[in-house]
Structure 1
Amino acid sequence: MNFNELDKKMRVFETIHDLCVSPEIYIVARIDGRGFTKLTKEKVSFETPFDVRFRDYMVETTKHLMDCGFKIIYGYTQSDEISLLFHLNDNGFSRKTRKLNSVLAGEASAKFSVLLGQPAAFDCRISELPNIDLVIDYFRWRNEDSHRNSLNAHCYWLLRKNGLSKTEATKEISGMSIPDKNELLFSHGINYNELPSWQKRGTGLYSKSVQKEGINKKTKEKTIYTRNELYIEYELPIKEQYEQLLRGLINEKIV
């Protein structure tokens, strides 16, 4: 059996279960840190419950993923996760989910590891969403998850810093309502509503038209031109305003 025959024979075992996202279906990839609780609490010293350095690593990793060969129209990151919305017509790797998962997880792991200075790993999963409304629901879901986890994290680490054990702090907040959690923080001088938005709602990244000043090479005169740049939004709107932002980005890219 020559090489070409052997290659054809064996290649089928790699591709027989390949699945592809159908055309006209929105692709959203969610990339999650693997074992990041241990990484950020034991191996690397980060401030709790939130650390600007860690946030910036996640933002830089998101920027890298948005510029690694796919047409991404919106990136979102909160905690140790990243969500990416593909352009409806992106056809990278023929939309094979196996390739999308492996490439995005690998790219995220490599970039974050370089930033951190030690190995870190991400996994990836693909959501196939048939319409804009479900895309909106997806990102509102992650946005609300960020808010819920942020409130819990601030309460948990407040209790830990006040001497409670892991088990005691977890038990203390497990039965609390949202108003009770806010009151707990307020009683210790923390107004949750005044905390930085990125801690509560995550960070969004998308292309935005900006005006720049340049010099006309022929006339040597100053000129104003417009170009698209990746914009980082640390103060995302909420609820209906967030939906309007997302819908505007999606509609702008598909017209």
Structure 2
Amino acid sequence: MNVQQTLTRIRLAPSGLPRPAAWALGCAWGLSLVLFAAAPASAQYAAAQAVTANDRALLAQMARDWLTPALESTMADNPDNLLRPEVIMGALDSRLRLAPCQRIEPFLPPGTRLWGRSRVGLRCLEGRVHWKVYVPVTVKAWGPAWVLRRAVPSGTVLTQDDADLAEMDWAEQASSVLATPESWIGQEAVFALQPGHTLRANMVRPLPAFSRGALVRVKSIGSGFHVVASGQAMEDGVVGQPVRVKLDGGRTITGMVRKGQVVEVKL
């Protein structure tokens, strides 16, 4: 398996979410280019003359030439992709003294995560010493993001006027980037937000559909029937999330919050 085939095994959306929703929420860094398996590369470089210890720039260029086209092609082939990759190669340690080598093979170390700071391996296949080195690489992922234009106090409900669309490096962000307006407009700030910050998933939360103690309708759904009862919410309820409800008879059940102060229970 070559690097192109390996890169196509990236996870672009977390399981259980529709692909557009996963991109919008950036949930659990499903957008990250996480490699499940690093396979040997098919590309090998035969040097016109033996690579010496002073060829560190050439080694870094080999790693770039091997990685960049496959990364760009993989992202371009995915119709849901929102990101534009940028690869920045680092330098090998100047103290390295490598034996001359006639044929070099790039490879991805097992478990490599091509997101932010990473590395690409190079190994000598034909030489007096079969050495192995790792070239540092930074993979930037430029994509749409929303940047706050002003300070937002904790608990404030965000509106379209609170942020501007910009292109940001998603790999630099500590949490999932919110890529679409639907993922943050109408939600409240979890803590005080500062101007210039990129909106991320840990900064906002949905407004509760009802509060603890509220009377709700409990809709129990079975095969070909449904039953509606009333109950009292034992905690705040957010649409699409589970909540505990105390029924009139005293029994406590857990159901999924729906719109209209309804809690749905599947039997």
Higher fraction of strand:
2
Higher RCO (CA 8 Å, separation ≥ 6 residues): 1
Q: Tell me if TM exceeds 0.5.
A: no
TM-score, normalised via structure 2 length: 0.24
